[in-house]
Chain A
Amino acid sequence: MYGKGLRALSISTVAVMAIALSLVFFYAPLDAEQGFLQKIFYVHVPLAIVALCGFVAGAIMAIAHLRTRDPRWDMRSYVAIHMSLIFGVGTLITGSIWAKGSWGHWWVWSEPTLVSFLIVFLLYATYQPLRFAIEDPERQARYASVFAITAGAFVPMNFIAVRLSTAYLHPRVLGSTSNLPGPMALTFAVSLLGIALLYTTLCRYELTAKHTRAQLRDLRRRLSGETVDTQTRRPRSAAPTLHPTAMHPTATMTARAVGRPGA
């Protein structure tokens, strides 16, 4: 049951985000160099951190999928990567806005976080086309997991490499989280927590929706199975969906993930 903790999770997300936003605009002091523009830091950097952790989490879930062959792990990996990709887009857009505000250009190569994110985004943007290009659902899940693990290992290495390459060009202005004064550090921590909760809530929401659709499909099959054979008419899809019997605690590993149009 994915929906079980959803209410508590979403309520705490709202609460923490509200506190974070109040802290950002009413409590955190103004930055000496950048002034009011620096407030973007409290949304840009948490988005970046949460997206990166999400990609790594997707890789860990993919490892679990390859070890246990449980399609639920593939589903979770898919959702984590999907959501991280969206948060990554948010990182790029907010970072670009910040760059425009402080440097005057919509893009700066001197900011390693932005550059690394661009590369990571380009890599994970191939995740969905890769899945879509494989028809057999079991192989799709397996290949996607291999990709997720490779890409997940790539993310930290990419950051190191890009940061090394820009280190001597310009001092880092936009994203440094080190030596923050107390009030700023507190605001940052609360914002980070809020964005992390937002990510978790949205992922859980997504998983619940997919599970619900899978149950509906199974119900439809059971109710109308005598007249309609839905197996053969299923078109290709990139999104994994689950056979609801896989959700049952006593289900064996024989439950297969079945592809369906973007649930």
Chain B
Amino acid sequence: MSGVILGELPALPLHTAGKYVAGAYVVLFALVLIYVAIMAVRLSRIERELGELSELSERSHSETPELDRSASPPSQTVADQQNVRHPESTPA
């Protein structure tokens, strides 16, 4: 059960096999890090969108409801159609 003690490590042929082992573990590390980078980009995009949306909600709260309704009647019906369409869609 003793296994390999730390002090024995320098006796290994590190100049040959070590490169490959290191390479393999670096691959694993790199995959995870690439994923972290992708998620970081997504997170910043989410943060930006969230900022835009909170700005949007502030604007719509500061305007009065009447102004909103009179401003865009045609699009209102589009939104109504969307709301109506949803409950009606049924699975096959």
Residues of chain A touching chain B, judged by Cβ–Cβ distance below 8 Å, are 21, 25-30, 34-37, 39-40, 43-44, 47, 69, 86-87, 89-90, 93-94, 97-98, 100-101, 182-183, 198, 202, 205, 209, 212-213, 216, 219-220, 223-229, 231, 253-254, 256
Contact = CB atoms under 8 A, between A and B. Distances in A.
Contacts of B28: 43, 47, 90, 94
B38 to A, nearest CB: 9
Contacts of B72: 226-227
B3 A226 contact: no
A43 B24 contact: yes
Contacts of A213: 42, 46
Given A27-B4, A29-B4, A40 B20 contact: yes
Nearest to A23: B3
Contacts of B42: 209, 213
Given A93-B27, A98-B20, A226-B79, A29 B3 contact: yes
Contacts of A37: 17, 20-21
A185 to B, nearest CB: 12
A21 B28 CA distance: 12
Contacts of B52: 220
Given A28-B3, A97-B27, 17 more contacts: A27-B3, A29-B4, A30-B4, A35-B12, A37-B17, A44-B24, A90-B27, A101-B17, A209-B46, A213-B46, A216-B49, A223-B53, A226-B76, A226-B79, A228-B75, A231-B82, A254-B90
B49 A220 contact: yes
B20 A225 contact: no
29 contacts: A21-B25, A25-B9, A26-B6, A29-B4, A35-B12, A35-B13, A37-B20, A37-B21, A39-B21, A40-B20, A40-B24, A43-B28, A44-B24, A47-B28, A93-B24, A94-B24, A97-B23, A101-B17, A101-B20, A183-B3, A202-B32, A209-B39, A220-B52, A220-B56, A223-B57, A226-B68, A226-B75, A227-B72, A229-B75
Contacts of B35: 86, 202
Interface in B24-66: 24-25, 27-28, 31-32, 35, 39, 42-43, 46, 49-50, 52-53, 56-57, 60
B51 to A, nearest CB: 11
A221 B24 CA distance: 46
Nearest to B27: A93
Nearest to B60: A223
Contacts of B20: 37, 40, 97-98, 100-101
